[in-house]
């Protein structure tokens, strides 16, 4: 049997309402069919496609209350939707940022194609962030995480000057990496750190204060 292409790709979502809102609202796909999983009729099967429901344009989802996937060997971790070219990618970059999608980077080459990549963030809200100034550097002061439902939660990034980013995430998945060369400092600490546990140091300090009193 010769295969000439895919009819559709199916994934799983634990949040069908948010799933529909993103794929029909932000991406502009059509919900062309809503049926049930033939093996488990308690789960919906949502079909998204272009306006003509062209074979090969379908992206479908089962709704199961499962935690986010754990990536491993031979896992399928990315679904790519093809557009007409570089100008279209630039338009989608601004579109997704306007819709509040987080982790939206710059257009990059991916497997020989220019691509725009983001993942695992449901929504992004910002305050006092000048998104039009691409060269502005923000100094990060603090990062906090507040759990909501399961591994989901809200990550808040606080920057100097009052700028705030609030990310709703499916799970806390972050990577800290240097994006530039190492900075060489002219001043280094000259004192020696004592190898003392924090509790012991606190106890010694308290004992010293009591003794002085």
Q: In 3D, which of 46, 44, 68, 48 has the Cα closest to residue 56?
A: 48
Taking 80 as the threshold, does the pLDDT of residue 180 lie above it?
A: no
Given this structure, which CATH class describes domain 1-66?
A: alpha beta
Taking 50 as the threshold, does the pLDDT of residue 73 lie above it?
A: yes
Residue 119, pLDDT score: 62
What is the band of 25 on the pLDDT scale with cuts at 50, 70, 90? confident
Average pLDDT, the chain: 75
Side-chain half-sphere CA neighbours of 190 within 13 A = 2
Bridging pattern class, strands 8-13 and 30-36: unpaired
Using CB atoms within 10 A of its CB, is residue 112 exposed (0-12), middle (13-18) or buried (19+)?
exposed
Q: In 3D, which of 17, 18, 13 has the Cα closest to residue 122?
A: 18
Taking 70 as the threshold, does the pLDDT of residue 135 lie above it?
A: no
pLDDT digits (tens, 9 = 90+) for 90-134: 888 888 888 877 667 777 776 666 655 556 677 777 888 776 776
The answer for 69, left when phi > 0, alpha when psi is -120 to 50, beta otherwise, is: beta
Residue 53, pLDDT score: 79
Share of the chain above pLDDT 70, in %: 68
Location of each CATH 3.10.180.10 domain in the chain: 1-66
Higher-confidence residue: 189 or 54?
54
Higher-confidence residue: 203 or 78?
78
Residue 60, pLDDT score: 92
Taking 50 as the threshold, does the pLDDT of residue 212 lie above it?
A: no
Q: DSSP for 100-143?
A: T-SS----EEETTEEE----SEEEEEEES--TT-TTPPPPEEEE
Higher-confidence residue: 31 or 212?
31
Residue 211, pLDDT score: 38
For residue 34, the SS3 value is strand
Residue 10, pLDDT score: 87
Taking 50 as the threshold, does the pLDDT of residue 200 lie above it?
A: no
Is the whole-model pTM more than 0.75? no
Taking 50 as the threshold, does the pLDDT of residue 209 lie above it?
A: no
CA distance 63 to 20: 11
């Amino acid at each position: 049997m010769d295969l000439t292409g895919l009819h559709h790709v199916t994934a799983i979502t634990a949040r069908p309402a948010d799933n529909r809102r993103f794929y029909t609202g932000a991406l502009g796909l059509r919900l062309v069919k809503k049926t049930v999983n033939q093996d488990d009729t308690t789960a919906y099967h949502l079909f998204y496609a272009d306006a003509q429901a062209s074979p090969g344009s379908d992206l479908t989802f089962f709704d199961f209350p499962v935690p986010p996937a754990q990536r491993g060997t031979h896992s399928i971790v990315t679904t790519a939707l093809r557009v007409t070219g570089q100008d279209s990618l630039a338009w989608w970059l601004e579109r997704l940022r306007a819709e509040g999608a987080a982790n939206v980077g710059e257009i990059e080459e991916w497997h020989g194609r220019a691509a725009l990549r983001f993942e695992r963030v449901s929504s992004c809200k910002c305050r006092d962030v000048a998104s039009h100034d691409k060269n502005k550097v923000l100094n990060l002061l603090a990062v906090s995480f507040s759990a909501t439902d399961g591994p989901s939660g809200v990550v808040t990034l606080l920057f100097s000057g009052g700028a705030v980013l609030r990310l709703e995430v499916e799970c806390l998945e972050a990577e800290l990496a240097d994006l530039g060369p190492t900075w060489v400092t002219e001043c280094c600490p000259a004192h020696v750190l004592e190898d003392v546990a924090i509790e012991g140091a606190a106890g010694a300090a308290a004992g010293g204060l009591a003794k002085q009193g």
